């Protein structure tokens, strides 16, 4: 099997699996005062320290969650519910992940106003437009992707955070797709922002970097005003009540340390594979077009997102799948019905184009073999998939 969907989820690192098993075998609730509880507490707090080091934040700022979706929900709902008097707007760039889009939609039903801003043709948030929208009256909070999970375009997170700080608006960054793949430091991005404003929250997920699914974290600045989603025992600064998953935290912290330690070398390795894949596909399918930033350093190292004109994504994915390759259309697929990618449409592309894309994402276990496998079948798959679309009309 050739797995080219590492952005959806990536292989569990063997070290993280071992760490999980080792810690999960010990009894003890990290909130209990007896010896067993205190041993669990020690492992938990060491894991928090190690994850904080990997994220460039203070240990107290790490709130462990169940993954990216929970982190984004805690950030957006929490910030909105603690918003400054008279402010109801949420600054929402186009092309965000559904965890963000749907949370903002739910808040809109509670009275939030949505201040939408567009992307440029490669899928990047325009910093000037972001800053101008922040200056509009009544913006309670802003959110943005560090890197787009579909087309892989990297945003200028530092500039976005600086404009939020200058406007005294709290900003959440969704770093789920970026963490472990790009250099990232919460403290550096936050800079000297005023209390409760600028970058105040940042979401990450464990299963994108080789930790078990069900692990994640929200970095919450000490001065952030944020209401909890879960009420109960008051764990984690009262921001996320509930008995803590010590084994998950330990496995996540270890996977994060490994990913961050390998990040520079791994990015170089993946860029070479990714560029070979994209160039090879375009040689074999001359009408295919690389979407996102054509500058290799402006996109996530393992991301090759291509438009295959006239070929429905589902047909291509099906043909690749039966040839033993897993990729994705990069769009939400509910009840088996693929929706046209809202991200591709945000680049100014048509709905038909947004239904004719494939996202190949490479990761730790990817090799030249995977690239060769795609290149061996892509021309034939494209011919058959585009034929199927013509027959289908
Ligand atoms: C950018 C981004 N944000 C949020 C999420 C949601 O994360 P999770 O699947 O861990 O809930 C994802 C997952 O694909 C993502 O890519």
pLDDT at 26 over 70: yes
Ligand 1 center to residue 126 CA distance, Å?
22
CB distance 97 to ligand 1 below 6 Å: yes
Per the model's pLDDT, the better-predicted residue between 365 and 27 turns out to be 365
Q: Where would I find the H helices in 183-331?
A: 186-190, 246-284, 313-322
Listing DSSP states for 172-201 in one string gives EEE-TTTBTTB---HHHHHTTPPTT-EEEE
CB distance 149 to ligand 1 below 6 Å: yes
Average pLDDT over residues 287-313: 97
Ligand 1 center to residue 137 CA distance, Å?
30
Ligand 1 center to residue 68 CA distance, Å?
5
- Residue pair 139/91 in contact by the 8 Å Cβ criterion: yes
- Residue pair 224/186 in contact by the 8 Å Cβ criterion: no
79-136 residue pLDDT tens: 999 999 999 999 999 999 999 999 999 999 999 999 999 999 999 999 999 999 999 8
- Which residue has the CA at smallest separation from atom 5 of ligand 1? 68
Average pLDDT over residues 343-349: 97
179-189 residue pLDDT tens: 999 999 999 99
With tokens 């079948």, the residue in question is 377
Ligand 1 center to residue 33 CA distance, Å?
35
CB distance 69 to ligand 1 below 6 Å: yes
Bridge partner residues of 201 (DSSP): 172, 220
Q: Residue 14: count other Cβ atoms within 10 Å of its Cβ.
A: 9
Tokens of 364: 């730790």
Ligand 1 center to residue 97 CA distance, Å?
7
Confidence of residue 338 (pLDDT cuts 50, 70, 90): confident
pLDDT at 393: 39
Secondary structure (3-state) at 331 = coil
Atom of ligand 1 nearest to the CA of 70: 11
Q: Minimal CA–CA distance to 247: which of 40, 99, 2?
A: 40
Dist CA 158 CA 130 (whole Å): 12
Residue 209 sits at φ, ψ, to 5 deg, of -125, 20
- Domains (ranges, CATH) in the chain? 2-8+263-391 (3.90.1150.10), 14-256 (3.40.640.10)
CB distance 374 to ligand 1 below 6 Å: no
Dist CA 229 CA 65 (whole Å): 11
Q: How far is CA 246 from the centre of its chain?
A: 23
pLDDT at 90: 98
- Is residue 333 annotated as a catalytic residue, yes or no? yes
User: pTM for the whole thing?
Assistant: 0.97
- Which residue has the CA at smallest separation from atom 7 of ligand 1? 68
- 110-124 in b/e form (b: 16+ CB < 10 A) is eebeebebebeebbb
> pLDDT exceeding 90 applies to what percent of the chain?
94
- Residue pair 377/323 in contact by the 8 Å Cβ criterion: yes
Average pLDDT over residues 307-332: 93
Secondary structure (3-state) at 245 = coil
Dist CA 55 CA 208 (whole Å): 15
CB distance 66 to ligand 1 below 6 Å: no
Average pLDDT over residues 350-354: 96
Per-residue CA distances from 248 to 23, 204, 288 (Å): 9, 14, 41
- Residue pair 44/249 in contact by the 8 Å Cβ criterion: yes
Find all residues with CB under 8 Å of 109, minimum gap 6, and list them. Answer: none
Q: Minimal CA–CA distance to 104: which of 90, 87, 117, 116?
A: 90
Ligand 1 center to residue 59 CA distance, Å?
23
pLDDT at 391: 43
- Residue pair 325/373 in contact by the 8 Å Cβ criterion: yes
Q: Minimal CA–CA distance to 123: which of 354, 282, 332, 322?
A: 354
CB distance 359 to ligand 1 below 6 Å: no
pLDDT at 137 over 90: no
Dist CA 17 CA 42 (whole Å): 20
- Which residue has the CA at smallest separation from atom 4 of ligand 1? 68
With tokens 């894991």, the residue in question is 47
- Which residue has the CA at smallest separation from atom 2 of ligand 1? 176
Ligand 1 center to residue 216 CA distance, Å?
10
Atom of ligand 1 nearest to the CA of 148: 1
CB distance 205 to ligand 1 below 6 Å: yes
Average pLDDT over residues 34-58: 96
Q: Which one is catalytic: 333, 338, 375, 376? A: 333
249-273 residue pLDDT tens: 999 999 999 999 999 999 999 999 9
CB distance 172 to ligand 1 below 6 Å: no
Mean pLDDT score of the chain: 95
190-228 residue pLDDT tens: 999 999 999 999 999 999 999 999 999 999 999 999 999
CB distance 68 to ligand 1 below 6 Å: yes
Bridge partner residues of 361 (DSSP): 5, 303
């Amino acid at each position: 099997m050739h797995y080219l969907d590492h952005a959806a989820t990536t292989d569990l690192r063997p070290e993280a699996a071992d760490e999980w098993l080792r810690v999960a075998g010990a009894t003890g609730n990290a909130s209990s005062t007896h010896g067993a509880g205190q041993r669990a507490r020690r492992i938990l707090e060491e894991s928090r320290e190690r994850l904080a080091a990997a994220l460039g934040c203070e240990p107290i700022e790490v709130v462990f969650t169940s993954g990216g979706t929970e982190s984004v929900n805690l950030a957006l709902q929490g910030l909105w519910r603690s918003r400054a008097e008279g402010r109801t707007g949420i600054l929402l760039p186009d092309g965000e992940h559904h965890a963000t889009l749907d949370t903002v939609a739910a808040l809109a039903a509670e009275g939030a106003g949505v201040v939408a801003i567009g992307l440029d043709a490669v899928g990047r948030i325009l910093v000037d437009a972001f800053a101008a929208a922040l200056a509009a009256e009544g913006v309670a909070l802003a959110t943005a992707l560090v890197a787009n999970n579909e087309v892989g375009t990297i945003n200028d997170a530092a500039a976005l955070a600086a404009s939020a700080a200058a406007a005294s608006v709290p900003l959440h960054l969704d770093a789920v797709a970026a963490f472990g793949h790009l250099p990232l430091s919460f403290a550096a991005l936050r800079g000297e922002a005023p209390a409760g404003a600028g970058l105040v929250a940042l979401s990450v997920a464990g299963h994108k970097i080789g930790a078990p699914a069900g692990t994640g974290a929200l970095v919450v600045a000490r001065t952030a005003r944020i209401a909890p989603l879960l009420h109960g025992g008051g764990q984690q600064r009262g921001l996320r009540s509930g008995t803590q998953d010590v084994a998950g935290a330990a496995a996540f912290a270890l996977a994060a340390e490994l990913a961050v330690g390998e990040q520079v070398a791994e990015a170089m390795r993946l860029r070479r594979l990714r560029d070979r894949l994209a160039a090879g596909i375009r040689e074999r399918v001359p009408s295919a077009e690389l979407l996102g930033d054509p500058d290799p350093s402006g996109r996530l190292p393992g991301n090759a997102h291509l438009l295959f004109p006239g070929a429905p994504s589902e047909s291509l994915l099906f043909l690749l799948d039966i040839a033993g390759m897993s990729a994705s259309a990069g769009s939400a697929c509910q009840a088996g019905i693929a929706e046209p990618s809202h991200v591709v449409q945000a680049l100014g592309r048509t709905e038909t184009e947004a239904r004719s894309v494939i996202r190949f994402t490479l990761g730790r276990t990817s090799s030249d073999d995977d690239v060769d496998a795609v290149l061996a079948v892509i021309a034939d798959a494209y011919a058959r998939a585009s034929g199927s679309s013509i027959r289908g009309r």
